[in-house]
Structures are given as structure tokens and as C-alpha cells.
Amino acid sequence: MKLGLIVAMEEELKIVLDNMDINEKTEYAGMIFYDGIYKGVKTIAVICGIGKVNSAICTQILISTFEVDKVINIGVAGGIGELEPGDVVIANSLVQHDVDASGFNYDLGRIPRLDTFDFKPDRELLEIARKACKKIDNHKIYEGRIVTGDQFINSSEKANWLKRYFGAIACEMEGASIAQVAYLNKIPFIVIRSISDNADKKASISFDEFINIAAENATIILENLLKEISKIEEDK
């Protein structure tokens, strides 16, 4: 089994790379793909960069070039509602909130001529993530919809709208595009995010303050996730 691990920023991958046995580094589309072993699992880890196009290109390279079996996306997100910095969100649904084809009578967020409105993670990976998160006791774990767009949300009004319209509990800039590419290629995926800010007018300040804490929390979840995956693979 080979896992593809995607993060958007260097801060989100530093802890992983510090503890990964790297065999080879390869560059595609300006991205460095680290091929090695992490927590006993063959892993291709990569910093995709910020935004939907970067993350979509990255995901397709992982699938087409490195032939990964599963895709995992970890990192940080803005919390919506009662979530606080350091909390963790497991996505059970992902939507691109900035897609607007309403002029053709499509609902906001719906990609025209695609057979689904939202992208749902692999059931087995979702269950494994739930088990992994049960071992965490220093912050709250949530499960719900994460919305993605090429916007850094720093407005309470916009955050509240995302909650009302999409039922979102977190927002970020890569997850749903990763999910779309995985969905189209029929590759299992999971998206797990740690909250770095509250997507309000103080978001930029909170982001700078909490990004390292949020990244560390996301990495702890990842480690537990890989332990669970390793157990399942050993039992097969």
C-alpha cells in the first residue's frame, strides 16, 4: 500500500519530514514529492501550495505518476461556529463554496455536469479517522462539512453565511478540490483539519498565532491514523 499525503504549507509538513525516512525526492510542477516511510507506511508526502488549482494538480500527480492507493490531506482550517483554535475536524463532506453556476440554475457550490454536489470520504478511512481521534484528549474533535474556496475567510458575515447555506463547520482552500480529483479517479481519500482561526476579522492574527499548534495537532491525528491503517494492513 502507498499513501499520498498532501499539505498546503511548509509548516504543516515539517513535523512529518523530521520523522520520515526519505528515500527519494522528485520535483513535478514546482512541487517536491518526498518518497519514503512514515510510521511504518510507504508514503509520498508533498507540499502542494495554497489554493484549489495547486492542490488539484498535486493530487493528480500523486495518482497518475506515483500511483498512490489512498490520499490523505491534513493541515489547518478556519473554524465556523463554536470551534476554537486547536480543535480538529474530520470532513464527512466537502464542497467548493466559490463555485457559482447559478446563471444556469445550479445551486451554489454545485459543479455543472458532475453527478454529485459534495464529495464524501472513503468509509473505511472515515471510520479509521474516528478511531484515531478517540485517542486524543487535549482538544475537541468534530465531524462535519468542510467548504473550500480560493478565499481566505476573515469575515464573520461570510463565515455565518457558509454555515447557513452549506452547513459548514470549517473552511479552507484545498480540501474539496483534492476530494474532487480523488473522486474522479476513484481513489479513497480523507481530509482532516486542525483549526487555526475562527474565520472572522481577527483570522489573520489568530492564524499566525495558532498555525504551529494547529499543525502539530493535525500531525498527531495523522500518526494515529497511520497506526490504525498499519494494523488493518497487517491483518489482511
> Is 12 considered catalytic here?
yes
Residues 6 or more apart whose CB falls under 8 angstroms from that of 168 comprise 80, 95, 97, 144, 145, 146, 147, 162
Q: Which one from 12, 172, 174, 200 is the annotated catalytic residue? A: 12
Residue 71's SS3 state is strand
> Is 197 considered catalytic here?
yes
Do residues 188 and 69 lie in contact, with contact meaning Cβ atoms separated by under 8 Å?
yes
Q: Which one from 87, 172, 174, 197 is the annotated catalytic residue? A: 197
Q: What are the CA-CA distances from residue 19 to residues 16, 22, 45, 128, 170 (Å)?
A: 5, 9, 12, 22, 28
In this structure, the chain runs to a length of 236
| Residues taking part in catalysis | 12, 197
